[in-house]
Amino acid sequence: MNLRNKKILVTGADGFIGSHLTEELLRSGCNVRAFVLYNSFNSWGWLDEAPKSLQDNLEIFSGDIRDPHGVYEAVKGCDIVLHLAALVAIPYSYHSPDTYIDTNIKGTLNILQAARKLEVAKVVHTSTSEVYGTARFTPINEDHPLQGQSPYAATKIAADQMAMAFYNSFDTPVAIIRPFNTYGPRQSARAVIPTVITQIAGGQHKIKLGSTHPTRDFNYIKDTVKGFISVAEAAATVGKVINIGSNYEISIGELVELIAEVMQVRIEIQTEEERLRPEKSEVERLWADNTRAEKLLGWKPEYAGYEGLKRGLAETIKWFSQSGNLKKYRPEVYNL
């Protein structure tokens, strides 16, 4: 499917991944409607930072993914929906699980209902590697069992299943993209890489973290965006779940040491109780099998392996270290 000939709705376009995806689509000449969360400041989130040349070609829809009527209006006239809008912070899901039900499950249902009624050509629904829970086998392929080890993960499992239910029940053309841990410029400090970088860039050498023994598969933002576009374009992805991951596993402790090496500082890691997940909720190991993405999409990560991760971290560190960007964060405060 040629995206340049289609009207594309991106939900969550004001967020970390959504803003990068929206900008890349615009750079490619696509016709994009960006769904951003309504606020009284008329802020477009990270899209406020987009070059004016891109903003001039962008249609903004301010609304709330939890509102079915607004969602219907946003989907109207669109050929493709890239659905990223979600609450994603795991610690906050312990605090306020109701909001995750409303946003992640009901918000996805609103998108699916509108897409079905308006006969949208394709919906790309965003999942997360957290739905797998601690790996039972590695690398993790798309047939791995799903385990809700946090309220966040449970709501994403439910949203994924709702998306597949619409495909199976109504032939709604749905594809599910399942990114592993995406990182890069603009990411919230609730995530480990920005947490470490902002603390170091802010002059701290005693770095406050949670658990450092779990492993993750980190995927640079440019690779994740390329994955979204590839899933949207490929007809073979309808009715499928596709992992987008680097197929490289590293522990949080090793990752932190690598960041310190790239930033050329010596650090000391301090574990803070409030940053630890409940024991049974901690996902101990994630490592992506990206065979299906390569087979169906021809997608391969450009930032793969140790060297790819190091290169992606260098680009991320460069962005966060710029004073204008760093001042948007509060490294001294734990971001729930």
For residue 153, give the nearest of 178, 136, 174 by alpha carbon.
Answer: 178
Question: Given a cut of 80, is residue 336 above it in pLDDT?
Answer: no
Q: How many CB atoms lie within 10 A of CB 122?
A: 24
Q: How far apart are CA 160 and CA 158, in angstroms?
A: 5
* pLDDT 10s digits, 148-175: 999 999 999 999 999 999 999 999 999 9
Query: Does 5 have pLDDT greater than 90?
Result: no
Q: Does domain 3-184+219-247+286-303 have CATH number 3.40.50.2000?
A: no
Span 67-100, pLDDT tens digits: 999 999 999 999 999 999 999 999 999 999 999 9
Q: What integer is the mean pLDDT of 245-250?
A: 98
Q: How far apart are CA 124 and CA 225, in angstroms?
A: 13
Residue 95 and residue 146 in contact, taking contact as beta carbons nearer than 8 Å = no
φ, ψ of residue 7 to 5 degrees: the values are: -90, 125
Token readout for 198 is: 């902002």
Q: Given a cut of 90, is residue 335 above it in pLDDT?
A: no
For the whole model, what pTM was predicted?
Answer: 0.97
Beta bridge partners of 11: 35, 83
pLDDT band at 146 (very low <50, low <70, confident <90, very high): very high
Distance CA 157, CA 160 (A): 5
HEC per residue, 268-317: EEEECHHHCCCHHHCCCECCECCHHHHHHHCCCCCCCHHHHHHHHHHHHH
Residue 33, strand partner residues: 9, 59
